[in-house]
Amino acid sequence: MITITFPDGSSRVYKSGVTGLDIAKSISPRLAAEALCMKVGGQLFDVNKPIDTDAVVTFYKWEDDEGKQTFWHSSSHLMAAALEKLYPGVKFGIGPAVENGFYYDVDLGDKGITEADLAKVENAMLEMAKEKHPFVRQDISKTEAIKNYSDKGDEYKCELLHDLTDGTISFYTNGSFTDLCRGPHIPDTSVIKAIKLTSIAGAYWRGDQNRKMLTRIYGITFPKKSMLDEHLLMLEEAKKRDHRKLGKELELFAFSQRVGQGLPLWLPKGAALRERLENFLKAVQKTHGYQQVMTPHIGQKELWVTSGHFEKYGKDSFQPIATPQEGEEFLLKPMNCPHHCEIYKTKPRSYKDLPVRYAEFGTVYRYEQSGELHGLTRVRGFTQDDAHIFCRPDQLKEEFCKVIDIVLYIFKTLDFKNYTAQISLRDPLDQKKYIGSDENWDKAESAIMEAAQERGLQTVVVKGEAAFYGPKLDFMVKDAIGRKWQLGTIQVDYNLPERFDLEYVGSDDKRYRPVMIHRAPFGSMERFVAVLIEHTGGKFPLWLTPDQVVILPISEKFNDFAKKVCNFLNNSDIRAAVDDRNETIGKKIRENELKRIPYLLVVGEKEEAADLVSVRKQGEGDKGQMSAQDFAAMLTDEINKLTESLT
């Protein structure tokens, strides 16, 4: 007999060899029907796996991230089975689950596939799903696995097998399709009820531009047709909110092939919006004792060797810059932290000096492959709202709490209401990949968990996702249409203070290492602006929006009066402009509303005679007439009320 313990602390006794599915059935028929995978002793498995020792067991359903990932990974196998049926001789690369769905990289040989062909693949998948094929696991030797794929002529799977260790190789079969896979998978294909293959793209094998270009087919599946319908509606709304489309329409940013892929150009309105965000955060940081610093865009290669970034990111970075001096090389900086460590070292530090908090809107550069670039969310040059706190171990928890407060204030200000905090800890089963003492790790992990609890955060604890130098807290935010984004991160680091030999003198005159906190509430200015555009649909908060007011003269006879009103508003710290184009007033109103202008002021003969303006508010229409002075006071009051509600 074995004892199975559940997440709520309760336990039951079962015969050794009981499967997860049998355990689920003993709890409730509904759990058995909805369980997609399970975690046993910290590792994910199929629910039909036998369990022969005492264990902690957690079941995951569609509502859980683990359940969705298993569902979508199994769906990639179902798509591969359909492709093999429709395109005999197709060869397969990899087919993982991704954040929203799955993909499979395939080599169709001389056969082509277009968007128009996806419907027949979907239909084949639905037919196979109805046949209720179980996902059956089989462990085989490396020699046998390589022979099978060699006989089949699939060089991609053979290459993957060569990288694996004998004794760790497993295959899964659903219907007539068998694939190299470590799992886990859903019990059978029948739970897949709705399918949509979304797009086709090219992808170099193993991300190597010197290798063959494969066909990558993306898709998403659901256990209910209604869920797919909701998802498709969300995709339509997402198209309307696409920051690349709105960024162009609102004249915020652009890209130039001559400048280079992934290197955004901030246009005047976008630069002003970004500056307001920076000034907002600088003001918050000033009240929390941060000091602004500035560092170069490059650093000697040795700096990155010392920090460990060259070893970790060197292959994915821009290549070293050689100077006329022999042996001298520089790198575009991929991180700001080594520069800040060197600033800390510019003078001796006492325990009384700590914490030291350095902040910088520092631009960094990382080489992303062209196929991975996406608007502002994935670029090659971006500016982090970076800061590094150097503190004593006894100050760690308090400093961490203060950073959480900053992040939450930003979310409240910008109306991000739905978020969770992911606490990423060490993998207890593989601690060799981390540096630092167990004592320091225990202190750091405890500080993060206690700080999150004290601040009342809704948290998810994930083991094995910590950085190699320390645990971290990532904020996962849902936007207005339910998509999840990672915004804001706080990390605890014992590594860089060691590598850069950072010290402070304690009260006992002995030398100690400070603890380093990395934090970026926005993450990067580029990505944050992209998310903000899509979250708001381009309708920014009044204090942030590039143009708060546009004055619309009915005809050119009233242009001078419009400019007089505009000058008064600008002098009242209200961002205003005049649309004096020779167009009808109706067209001006429509086009400026499409530009998400919060307020439109119409001026004509009656308004000029009475020294008034006719006010229209975005989404609410006509608000009547008032003086420019009263309008300015109304806007100022609206902004002040927002500020007061946040403090």
Catalytic positions are: 337, 366, 384, 386, 388, 472, 518
The Cα 19–Cα 47 span in angstroms is 7
End-to-end Cα, the chain, rounded Å = 59
What stretch of H or E contains 552? strand 549-553
Neighbours of 647 (CB within 10 A): 5
Distances (CA, A) of 42 to 3, 24, 58: 16, 18, 9
DSSP per residue over 146-162, as a string?
A: HHHHHHHT-HHHHHHHH
Q: Are 38 and 3 in contact (CB under 8 A)?
A: no
Q: Name every residue whose Cβ is closer than 8 Å to that of residue 215 and which is 6 or more positions away in sequence.
A: 105, 106, 107, 108, 113, 200, 201, 202, 203
Distances (CA, A) of 182 to 76, 452, 524: 14, 34, 35
β-pairing verdict for 55-60 and 170-174 = unpaired
Distances (CA, A) of 46 to 25, 60, 183: 15, 10, 7
The Cα 24–Cα 26 span in angstroms is 5
The Cα 250–Cα 264 span in angstroms is 15
β-pairing verdict for 381-391 and 356-365 = antiparallel
Beta-carbon-side half-sphere exposure of residue 68 (alpha carbons within 13 Å): 13
Q: Name every residue whose Cβ is closer than 8 Å to that of residue 198 and which is 6 or more positions away in sequence.
A: 101, 218, 219, 220
The Cα 497–Cα 516 span in angstroms is 7
Closest listed residue to residue 12, CA positions, set 30, 34, 28, 36: 28
